Structure 1
Amino acid sequence: MPPTRRQFRMREITILVSVLLAIAVFGALNPRFLGVEPALAILEGASTDGLMVIGMTIVIVCGAFDMSVGSAMSLCGMIAALVMKAGGPVWLAVLAALVAGLVIGWTNGAIVTRLKINPFITTLGTMSILRGIVLVVTRSSPPTGFPESFLKIAWGSVFGIPFPVLLLGAAMLAGDLLLRHLAYLRQVYFVGSNEEAARLTGIRTAQVKTFAFVITGLLAAAAGVIVTSRANAVDPNAGIGAELRVIAAVIVGGASLSGGRGTILGSFLGLMLMQIITTGLVFIDVAPEAQLIAVGLVLILAAVIDRSGSSGLARRILSLLVTSRSKKVERVFNVVLAVALVAALAVRFGNRNSPSEGSPQAQSGQQHYVMISAATGAPYWIDAKLGLNDKANELGVSAVFTGPPTVDVNQQIDAVNRAIAQGVDGIIVVPMADSVTPAIDKAVEAGIPVVCADADAPSSKRFCFVGTGNYNAGYEGGQRLGKLLGGRGKVALISLPGTDHLARRVNGYRDALAQYPGIEIVRVGNDQGSPNEAQKECRAILQAVPGLAGFGCVDAAGGQGAAVAVKQAGKVGIVKIVAMDRDEATLQFIQEGIIDASIGQRSYMMSYLALQMLYDLRNERIKFVNDWQQIGVNPLPTNVDTGSFVITRENVGHFRRP
């Protein structure tokens, strides 16, 4: 039977205490965290995941999983974009996206209930299919530039409250009330607790399960519309990892992995707890790597709480730590333990450039800057971090390198919004696409100067772009590859679709190789930003094109993957490789003679110069004119090309780290 109201209240009160305690901890560490703007940033950042959390709660309570929500979100957002690009009105585009979500949900439900396929396997398969469709359609050029009325879906507001936040609040309230009081929806508790018993009592279990998947698909589609509206483009990487975040929020919120238990309110509070922790760690300058550790610990502790209700061993362990066997005491203890662990991580992994509370710099109000990138764990960023740290130490300021761990434009927008809420003195951003423009403009309008580094958002209000001329870097790579091939042969380019700066490098390669009539570009492969995936792609290309003569790679992952694939195929020296960047793996392949050349970038200088520019702007050190803000004249150069250089076997030793 479904859980009692008392059980519901206990779980929800427990997670609410966790949320309030987390707010208190981060508010004590940084009082700005308690402001209205950080609260709106947290809610806005949770809006798309929050919509999917509603559907996922119903599916998990029903005893199933839906791993396809992230891919469904991306596909439905793309469908809305394609309708508008075909000349359709905004309302029709939104309707088409929602219908697509319904179809995806019904398909998942039908496969699970009629073909009796495990929900995890089913939705894992549809996740791959849907993501593949998005990548195929957007391979050449992702749709961008939509009507202003469509953009208002994500960027509009009522009394200062963003539309996505209002939509999330309305959906959460309606969903929670319906799940508690609508007889048809409450059947999911019976199905999740004991599907066979529910069927014998007359409940149409297959219909109930299918309905749960349909709701999830519909809400994923709504999230996709918001994501596409926010980015003003189709991001083929949108939603990657969303399914894990959503499931984690539902479990943290008290739902049972085995089904039959959970509430939408509890799941919403679980999502808020995770979002508060993520945002709070940014406010106290914790490194991005440690943020992942903290969120993972909270998820594991939630699973421990879930198991403590049925595990005699767990109760015996907890009874050694608390004097009462009361479930309330056990849960409160776990809440305190979770927040204590997060606080310990904050102290242990805080950014080394952040001043201690009693330091002279902190007491004098040290200025604080952030650099927001993506795929922050990539080796490419080592030099950029060094440049940022060195310049911060020279200027006596605090500077933090942060951003999403994956190439996700919407998560990057959320990171910019958090920096605005934090009230930083300046932002260096590495925009994965021009879609970050509205967030950059929002920061500048809030009085926070922004400089783009490594990648540009040229239509934004940023003050300057500091980085490699990406077209020029691609052109130089194409010239080098053309010479290595003697002007003849079939070539494959390896890139990551959906990233504007890499698209410019691909264009540079195309124009350079066009000067060699004997060279044909036969394929543009997708490395997915991963050396392992790049290796698979390059291996497949080598098998599909037996006479392939060379690879031109526009990012570090592509070069490493091509090197491994060529080595495995026994074609070292036969298939020429021009890579990108100077990470240690690439340098090793050059030294071994597998990679013939790599186009290096001055990533150290990008962050070094960008931080100096922001500091000069903030402190009015540029003697341009006395009132450049009032007359609207940018005191900085629009672009600073840090250039590129070629690394070969002859000079690679000078670039190796000791």
Structure 2
Amino acid sequence: MRKWMLAAAVAVLATLGQPAEAQQKYRFAVVPKAMNNPFFDLARDGCLKRAKELGNIECIYRGPVEHEPATQAQLIQDFITQKVDGLAISVADVASATRSIKAAVDAGIPVITFDADAPGSARSAYIGTNNKEFGLALGKQLLALRPEGGKYAMVSGGPGAKNLAERVDGVREALKGSKWVEVSGSPTFCNDDVALAVQQMADLKSATPDLAAIVPIGGWPMFAPEGFKAFVNKNKKEIDAGKFTLVVADTLKMQLELLRDGYSNALTGQRPFEMGEKSMDALLALKKKEKIPEIIYTGLDTVTKETVGQYLK
């Protein structure tokens, strides 16, 4: 009898001091817009790191290979069928995702959005960039570099993504009242296709030979570094003479290296790694019935040729 009581006491003591959630394992799915976009690789890495630190979390990272809202919706439905414990979604199309999020919440699965939001949906929170501020920062960078103005164009991703529409609005607001004029056909939409983004830049420059600036509001063209270099080299004389300027969104390592090597004029970057980390914390808190802020901004980094070295460290 004493041996039985001792064993029971040891078992009880072994659980003391451990957080309650340590007794429960959770499977959280992270659904990016497109898995061929290296931006989301960093969100995945942040998710996996935080899941490992927490110990009782499995981070499942799966999305469409390319930017396909219908495929994203199907994947979310698959996760609902699998009864995952939580979903973090970068919304490719607001209307489609709003329906998918409702289906998940109706099934008892907490949902947050990251990177791209669907604010009218049943999601509990958004984690990511203040995208209007992001666009304003890009526009202000261009204005600081070229206050004399000129003709400019933007390259965007998917036309149904609210975060990208907010960035476009931010750039326009920053340049309103200046000598910068947006050309017809801007923004173009590459649907996260990096090769297409480079081609669209070339098409914009060909259509408007005196185009003074291009502002990709996502890093897509730089994610195809060889194609991006070829485009820049073709226009290097104008860039070096200060007649053609490239202000690009995001600050992935390859982009920082391109900026260092003279292939762009400035970058404004998000923090996707933190988005992945905070998504795990938020979903865990929701599973524990804890309240979380509806909006969690992860901040921006503004990088120039003068400061790029410290970011590469």
1:485–1:550 contact (8 Å) kept in structure 2: no
Higher relative contact order (CA 8 A, sep 6+): 2
Structure 1 residue 566 corresponds to structure 2 residue 235: no
**What SS does the corresponding residue of 2:172 show, helix, strand or coil?**
helix
2:285–2:292 contact (8 Å) kept in structure 1: no
Q: Distance in 2 between matches of 1:581 and 1:542?
A: 22
Distance 1:528 1:409, change over 3 A: closer
2:30–2:44 contact (8 Å) kept in structure 1: no
The aligned residue for residue 86 of structure 2 is 426
Q: Distance in 2 between matches of 1:617 and 1:527?
A: 35
The aligned residue for residue 636 of structure 1 is 292
The aligned residue for residue 385 of structure 1 is 44
In structure 2, the gaps of 5 or more residues are: 1-22
The one of 301, 304, 312 equivalent to 1:648 is: 304
Q: Distance in 2 between matches of 1:648 and 1:439?
A: 40
Q: Distance in 1 between matches of 2:281 and 2:216?
A: 31
1:384–1:606 contact (8 Å) kept in structure 2: yes
Shift of 1:543: 1.9
1:579–1:599 contact (8 Å) kept in structure 2: yes
The aligned residue for residue 614 of structure 1 is 283
The aligned residue for residue 3 of structure 2 is none
The aligned residue for residue 452 of structure 1 is 113
The aligned residue for residue 498 of structure 1 is 160
The aligned residue for residue 373 of structure 1 is 32
Question: What is the TM-score with the length of structure 1 in the denominator?
Answer: 0.41
Shift of 1:584: 3.0
1:566–1:575 contact (8 Å) kept in structure 2: no
In structure 1, the gaps of 5 or more residues are: 1-363, 623-634
Shift of 1:653: 2.7
Give the alignment of 1:248-267 within 5 angstroms: none
Give the alignment of 1:208-219 within 5 angstroms: none
The one of 163, 174, 183 equivalent to 1:512 is: 174
The aligned residue for residue 265 of structure 2 is 596
The aligned residue for residue 237 of structure 1 is none
**What SS does the corresponding residue of 1:572 show, helix, strand or coil?**
helix
Shift of 1:585: 2.8
Q: Distance in 2 between matches of 1:459 and 1:505?
A: 18
- Which residue identity lines up with residue 94 of structure 2 in the other structure? D
**What SS does the corresponding residue of 2:52 show, helix, strand or coil?**
helix
Q: Distance in 1 between matches of 2:218 and 2:168?
A: 10
- Which residue identity lines up with residue 505 of structure 1 in the other structure? R
Give the alignment of 1:296-375 within 5 angstroms: 366-375=25-34
The one of 446, 469, 491 equivalent to 2:130 is: 469
Q: Distance in 1 between matches of 2:111 and 2:200?
A: 36
Q: Distance in 1 between matches of 2:131 and 2:273?
A: 16
Please list the CA deviations of residues 62-91 of structure 1 after superposition, one character each: whole Å capped at 9, or x if unmatched. Answer: xxxxxxxxxxxxxxxxxxxxxxxxxxxxxx
Give the alignment of 1:374-413 within 5 angstroms: 374-396=33-55, 397-413=57-73
The aligned residue for residue 205 of structure 2 is 542
The aligned residue for residue 415 of structure 1 is 75
Q: Distance in 2 between matches of 1:389 and 1:569?
A: 41
Please list the CA deviations of residues 278-312 of structure 1 after superposition, one character each: whole Å capped at 9, or x if unmatched. Answer: xxxxxxxxxxxxxxxxxxxxxxxxxxxxxxxxxxx
Structure 1 residue 556 corresponds to structure 2 residue 209: no
Shift of 1:499: 2.3
2:135–2:169 contact (8 Å) kept in structure 1: yes
Shift of 1:559: 4.7
The aligned residue for residue 126 of structure 1 is none
2:125–2:294 contact (8 Å) kept in structure 1: yes
Q: Distance in 1 between matches of 2:33 and 2:133?
A: 22
Q: Distance in 2 between matches of 1:551 and 1:559?
A: 13
- Which residue identity lines up with residue 508 of structure 1 in the other structure? G
Max Rg structure? 1
Shift of 1:394: 1.6
Shift of 1:563: 5.4
**What SS does the corresponding residue of 2:239 show, helix, strand or coil?**
coil
Shift of 1:524: 2.1
1:491–1:521 contact (8 Å) kept in structure 2: yes
Q: Distance in 2 between matches of 1:405 and 1:563?
A: 25
- Which residue identity lines up with residue 93 of structure 2 in the other structure? A
Alignment length (residue pairs): 280
- Which residue identity lines up with residue 31 of structure 2 in the other structure? I
Q: Distance in 2 between matches of 1:588 and 1:636?
A: 37
The aligned residue for residue 489 of structure 1 is 150
Q: Distance in 1 between matches of 2:229 and 2:181?
A: 21
Please list the CA deviations of residues 587-616 of structure 1 after superposition, one character each: whole Å capped at 9, or x if unmatched. Answer: 222011221111110111112112101101
Distance 1:528 1:418, change over 3 A: closer
2:94–2:160 contact (8 Å) kept in structure 1: no
1:552–1:578 contact (8 Å) kept in structure 2: yes
1:420–1:446 contact (8 Å) kept in structure 2: yes
- Which residue identity lines up with residue 473 of structure 1 in the other structure? F
Deviates more, 1:482-491 or 1:410-419: 482-491
- Which residue identity lines up with residue 366 of structure 1 in the other structure? K
2:35–2:41 contact (8 Å) kept in structure 1: no
1:413–1:439 contact (8 Å) kept in structure 2: yes
1:539–1:566 contact (8 Å) kept in structure 2: no
2:249–2:269 contact (8 Å) kept in structure 1: yes
The aligned residue for residue 94 of structure 1 is none
Give the alignment of 1:70-89 within 5 angstroms: none
1:433–1:501 contact (8 Å) kept in structure 2: no
Give the alignment of 1:1-80 within 5 angstroms: none
- Which residue identity lines up with residue 433 of structure 1 in the other structure? D
**What SS does the corresponding residue of 1:462 show, helix, strand or coil?**
coil
% identical aligned pairs: 28
- Which residue identity lines up with residue 233 of structure 2 in the other structure? K
Q: Distance in 1 between matches of 2:297 and 2:53?
A: 23
The aligned residue for residue 440 of structure 1 is 101
**What SS does the corresponding residue of 2:269 show, helix, strand or coil?**
strand
Distance 1:563 1:475, change over 3 A: farther
